[in-house]
Structure 1
Amino acid sequence: MVTTSQTMLAVRLVEWGKPPELCQVPIPEPRGTEVLIRVEAAGLCQSDLHLLDAADGVPRLEPPFTLGHEVVGAVVSTGKESESRVEIGARVVVHGPCGCSQCERCTSGEDNYCDRRHELDWTGIGIGLDGGMAEYMLVPDARHLVEIGALDPAAAAPLADAGLTAYHAVELARQRISADGVVVVIGAGGLGHLAVQVLRATTSARVIAVDVRPQARELALACGATAAVDSSQLTSELDKLSNHKADAVLDFVGSDLTLQAAAGALRSRGELVVVGSAGGSITVTKGGSLPQGTRLSIPFWGSHTELRKVIELASTGNLAAEVDVRPLGDALSALGDLRSGQVNGRLVLVP
């Protein structure tokens, strides 16, 4: 039995421009549509670093709040309006991009593209709302929960963002991928290695992974990539596999250099999906570097329906994150390792 007189350990952003802190805070009590879960695993992500590095803060987000937007846990209690919508003890992954819950996007499960996002004081759990780098977490509504069945919590947590974002990126490009096509995945790290698996499981495309790190290229090959190269070898590898360039390029880095490489690797009427947030830019103009007919996508997270499909892929053994599991109390050192690039795959914290 959990009571609000108890406290819990949580990793909190207390003030913009300062490192996060390990804090003892009260365990929240669910009301209305809310659901309280006991956290079993919470993923760490480059997005957490982008959030922490926002020197002047992110408009509308007001610390303090608990970090963590890749969360798996077990339901321990609910508010009155969620009593019949979720079972106590259910093991769930949380759909993190909580929107306004009222607009057309949100009511169709696309909270990631909420029409009122600019009006809200949050982007999602762990990004304005208290997240899952804690022993317990309050979920705003039972509709944000997807049951995970027998999946291991540490393996399932990264699917909430890394798996979901990778799946959504592939979905955006799917119509442009021919039966014998080639897809280039730039950045074979935390999201890229999952995108390789989604492509292999859901398309017949041959996949070229591009990464400067030898260990990331090895991971991509283990995940089913046809080839894994550094950027200097991309053109020659495309020539080996096809008589045309790539049907789609998924850029999980997003720097000036990777966007230039993406434009050079793309065939006419191809799809460029820019997922990474490394601050690069590309000029969109007639007769510019992008081939004729290029469609450009800038995805954010993924939908509730897509999260269910991600869990299905994982449950059938077709999608698995490479994980490095650490105790919740080691969160600050884990963030340091992530920042220094010492992680291959995904970091996961367990209380």
Structure 2
Amino acid sequence: MKAAVLHQYNESLSGDSFVRYGDVPDPKIESPTDVIVRIGGAGVCRTDLHVVEGLWRGKVDVELPYIMGHENAGWIEAVGSAVSGMKVGDPVICHPLVTSGHCLACRRGDDMHADGSRFPGINADGGYAEYLRTNQRSLIKLPSTLAPKDVAPYTDAGLTAYRAAKKASRHLLPGEYAVVIGAGGLGHIGIQVLAALCAAEIIVVDRADAALQLAKSCGAHHLVKADEQALERVLELTEGKGAQAVIDFVGEGEAISRGLAMTRNAGTYYVVGYGGRIELPSIDMITSEKSIVGNLVGTYAELVELMALADRGRVHLATREYALKDANQALLDLHHGRIQGRAVLVP
């Protein structure tokens, strides 16, 4: 099969080629519960750039060369002997983690923390290819309204945004405020989820005018340019007290300190983006009673819920398609901020 393969790390993200497009062996059924998926779309994520940078070297055990791509959807191509209820040709979306279902975390539905899990595209070969090996437990059948290439990025970008927005929505009441920092590939989904699940006033902060306009179309009530006056404007909108919930889809640079400052006393700062550091005196935590909550992808059940919202037209994913052979161009466009929404590779 054809695949775009990572052969070496590039810590500075320099040059114009990160992966090599060429022939690699087809994945094979290795376990009775395995499923081979013919890829219809593979999302291009900022995490992929972090993988290229080598940021994940100390977090996962993976040897180069390998195939990135952890946001995948397509059609079933082959099934193991123990697979039931699914057949060749079924359109499916892949939960990003491949788990056994037997450990305690699995039984509690806490897929992200399962023992011995496999994460295609992170610690195993992923979907920047024509075919992907996963298992039945990770697959969700798609309704006829949703095409694989249109929903592939929901499996990480959408699911992560959904998980954070769902957590926030459970504590947001009408008349309260939610701030979303970053209206890009994740943020524009998070805005729609907040609008679908709660009645809070949604304030969106981003440095790009195009992203702010996208946020407006997604249901944002207030738009704030991410400049030196951003904190002041958010405080003006929130009666000088800050928001009950701040969801930070950037997680680096000044976004962290500003996000915490935008969080009201006894409010919650949800960090989704990463790459920076959270530094806060313990006395400030005590006197403000703010909560800081991390968010890692989402559960299988939450992906089912997100697909239900997509099926009903309550969330829409802005995508830009690239041919698989043009994976380097997609990565470069993402790196240089030329993509509105999400990039998707289509074999």
- Provide the alpha-carbon RMSD of the alignment: 2.0
**Map of 1:188 onto structure 2:** 183
Specify the code of the residue in structure 2 equivalent to 1:67: M
For the 8 Å contact 2:180–2:187, the answer to whether it is kept is: yes
- SS of 1:183's equivalent? strand
Percent of paired sites with the same residue: 34
For the 8 Å contact 1:99–1:112, the answer to whether it is kept is: no
- SS of 2:82's equivalent? helix
Q: Give runs of aligned pairs for residues 1-351 of structure 1, distance below 5 A.
A: 8-17=1-10, 19-31=18-30, 32-54=32-54, 57-58=57-58, 59-82=60-83, 84-99=84-99, 101-114=101-114, 116=115, 122=118, 124-139=119-134, 141-150=135-144, 151-231=146-226, 232-240=229-237, 242=239, 244-287=241-284, 292-351=288-347
- SS of 1:143's equivalent? helix
Query: Deviation of residue 331 (structure 1)?
Result: 0.6
Query: Deviation of residue 318 (structure 1)?
Result: 0.6
Specify the code of the residue in structure 1 equivalent to 2:225: D
Q: C-alpha separation between the residues in 1 aligned to 2:337 and 2:266?
A: 35
Give the TM-score normalised by structure 1.
Answer: 0.90
Q: C-alpha separation between the residues in 1 aligned to 2:106 and 2:49?
A: 27
Query: Deviation of residue 240 (structure 1)?
Result: 3.3
Query: Deviation of residue 113 (structure 1)?
Result: 2.1
The range that moved more, 171-180 or 198-207, is: 171-180
Q: C-alpha separation between the residues in 2 aligned to 1:191 and 1:249?
A: 14
For the 8 Å contact 1:16–1:57, the answer to whether it is kept is: no
The range that moved more, 168-177 or 150-159, is: 168-177
For the 8 Å contact 1:11–1:133, the answer to whether it is kept is: yes
- SS of 2:24's equivalent? strand
Specify the code of the residue in structure 2 equivalent to 1:272: Y
The answer for unaligned runs of 5 or more in structure 2 is: 12-17
Specify the code of the residue in structure 1 equivalent to 2:66: F
For the 8 Å contact 1:16–1:55, the answer to whether it is kept is: no
Query: Deviation of residue 177 (structure 1)?
Result: 1.6
Aligned residues: 336
The answer for unaligned runs of 5 or more in structure 1 is: 1-7
Give the TM-score normalised by structure 2.
Answer: 0.91
